[in-house]
A and B are shown apart, each in its own frame.
Chain A
């Protein structure tokens, strides 16, 4: 136990002294600070300049309305003005060609040529992918046309307006889980798990392989118990990974709360930071167990490598498996069917359950006993894989030359003492 603590402390110190690790963490926190303070900063700037140029603030450009009769021009300009609050809407006094020239030169942004109550042409410089002006125009034109038609058929204009504007009251009640909201958490957790496991898993492999290639292993293996070494390394990287995540997400939460009033316009942000506590607990459990089971394997793989150049080849089967699980989860998430047979099986298999079970918990209603069974299987496997990895490690670190096959080592560990 004392050895384990010594190794853990030594490995943790390595992380703290690792400039890349500290640098990346600080960079992420700083980047988040910039993002989270952004609305406050822009708000401060825009309130300063409010008084000076109130006439143009809020308008993104000039929009002209062309029509055959002056009466129509004014009516449509009023209706468009009310619908396009972002634009400075005017009646065009010039000819269509002159308007086109002005759009091309950038003097005005766009123009609507109303040809009949049910037909118009929209002129704009570059038609953006996100340009939805035509949709708004369709609605405006439709309402005007409907109102006209209704009044023509003898309905009083006020009644007609009321009929057209009747609001529908509605409410969505989810009796299971709200997929809309939880999709987010599942997505972020799975992504975080994916990145952190790949990153830290590789670090564990490199750490073991470096000790072996620098031959520090000769001394280590005679000084410390391999199980303590394996657990010390893996748990240290787990603590480092988790503290990095906590630093990043914690600072995001802190910065959000400091700037909460500036974020009210962003529903996504509010939704993101109001994570249900029970989901957070599951996230933590599956994250820890998932991280550990892979980190042990990455450590065992590292011990089979003699040269650092061989690390990439050695870890690739493990990475492939992991990427495969990631793809399965992501695909079923986006399809919305997270309770497929494949996902159900995956949510009990130790290497896939951290991602698969969490996805199911977040996006569907999973019976409690299934969750318990999955966690128990996973926890037991973490322990088993840890012990197995330590044994592979003990054999692996003393072998130099061509890396032995992992399956061969496992057989050796299991069947020959």
Chain B
């Protein structure tokens, strides 16, 4: 199963929100859809869900225009909320029925998911009696109960305690292993890094970076060194124009050219008392900041 966004454009009135978004993702792999606030992630998700059509471009599944009803899409929106005063089971059945399930199947599936998420005891309670984290788990059931092939999770970990976060991780891994397409949208880069094989960064309505995360990291320019040293001040002073201080007190040393790497390393080690020196590998956070910032 391959999902493809092909040059999607969308305007609201005068405002062009998406200026040509393209990316692909496939089953058995998690995909991270990243972007700063207002970059157009939610608009892209809504187009995928068919809330409104794109002005141009296509959403394809296995090369054909997506048939949303038959494939089934599960969605955990960033703005959580269900009916606060209604019984949990009633609203879960309602949403599953809206997604095309019959009542009996819906009840069966909901029972499974409530027990999987350790929420069975709350089945007949009204939603507003639950804690925020538990409400979020109930909302997750609305995204999963109808057995969708595509699952979209927008900030799924926000508000969860570490134990619940672990539970959610294992559920998500299970779904990925079943061959489903899982799309994450989050600003918590550590989770994306942990789960996602592929990412796309949207900025200013365009896809600015897209592809396999490991490959993206590999292809990043290796033109920076990380140095930890007791002589940090002396190094900083001598190479003032090329050095900057990292978040954890380490020195980031910019190379003019990758070929001077060995020379610089040897020179520094022989001259100063160096504890650690290595080529800088950017984290997803660094990549995100670099791409999302410079394109704005």
A222:B84 contact, CB within 8 angstroms = no
Q: Please name the residue on chain B nearest to A412 by beta carbon.
A: B13
Q: State whether the Cβ of B108 lies closer than 8 Å to any Cβ in chain A.
A: no
B51:A219 contact, CB within 8 angstroms = no
Q: Which residues of B contact A211 (CB under 8 A)?
A: 83
Near B by CB (< 8 A), chain A positions 198-245 give 211, 214-224
Q: State whether the Cβ of B5 lies closer than 8 Å to any Cβ in chain A.
A: no
A416:B13 contact, CB within 8 angstroms = yes
From residue A100, how far is it (CB to closest CB) to chain B in Å?
A: 68
From residue A217, how far is it (CB to closest CB) to chain B in Å?
A: 8
Q: Among A3-11, A53-61, A257-265, which stretch is in contact with chain B?
A: A3-11
Q: Which residues of A contact B82 (CB under 8 A)?
A: 214, 216, 219
Interface mask (B86-102 → A, CB under 8 Å = 1, otherwise 0)? 00001000110111100
From DSSP, what is the main secondary structure of chain A's interface residues?
helix
Q: State whether the Cβ of B77 lies closer than 8 Å to any Cβ in chain A.
A: yes
Contact pick for A214, options B50, B83, B98, B100, CB 8 Å: B83
Q: Please name the residue on chain B nearest to A229 by beta carbon.
A: B98
Q: State whether the Cβ of A398 lies closer than 8 Å to any Cβ in chain B.
A: yes
Q: Which residues of B contact A217 (CB under 8 A)?
A: 81
Q: How far is the CA of A10 from the CA of B73 in the complex (A)?
A: 22
B100:A219 contact, CB within 8 angstroms = no
Q: Which residues of A contact B46 (CB under 8 A)?
A: 222, 398
Given the known interface contacts A214-B82, A215-B81, A219-B82, the answer about A6 and B97 at a Cβ–Cβ threshold of 8 Å is yes
B77:A223 contact, CB within 8 angstroms = no
Q: How far is the CA of A394 from the CA of B118 in the complex (A)?
A: 35
Q: Please name the residue on chain A nearest to B152 by beta carbon.
A: A222
Q: How far is the CA of A174 from the CA of B100 in the complex (A)?
A: 59
From DSSP, what is the main secondary structure of chain B's interface residues?
loop
Q: How far is the CA of A223 from the CA of B82 in the complex (A)?
A: 13
Q: State whether the Cβ of B49 lies closer than 8 Å to any Cβ in chain A.
A: yes
A218:B97 contact, CB within 8 angstroms = no
Q: State whether the Cβ of A2 lies closer than 8 Å to any Cβ in chain B.
A: yes
From residue A305, how far is it (CB to closest CB) to chain B in Å?
A: 15
From residue B80, how far is it (CB to closest CB) to chain A in Å?
A: 6
In this complex, which of A6, A215, A222, A394 has the most chain B Cβ atoms within 10 angstroms of its Cβ? A222
Interface mask (B15-54 → A, CB under 8 Å = 1, otherwise 0)? 0000000000000000000000000000000100111100
Given the known interface contacts A214-B84, A219-B142, A222-B51, the answer about A10 and B94 at a Cβ–Cβ threshold of 8 Å is yes
A214:B81 contact, CB within 8 angstroms = yes
Q: Which residues of A contact B49 (CB under 8 A)?
A: 222
A-B contact pairs, 17 of them (CB 8 A): A6-B98, A10-B94, A211-B83, A214-B81, A215-B77, A219-B81, A219-B82, A219-B139, A220-B98, A222-B46, A222-B51, A222-B73, A222-B77, A223-B95, A224-B98, A398-B51, A412-B13
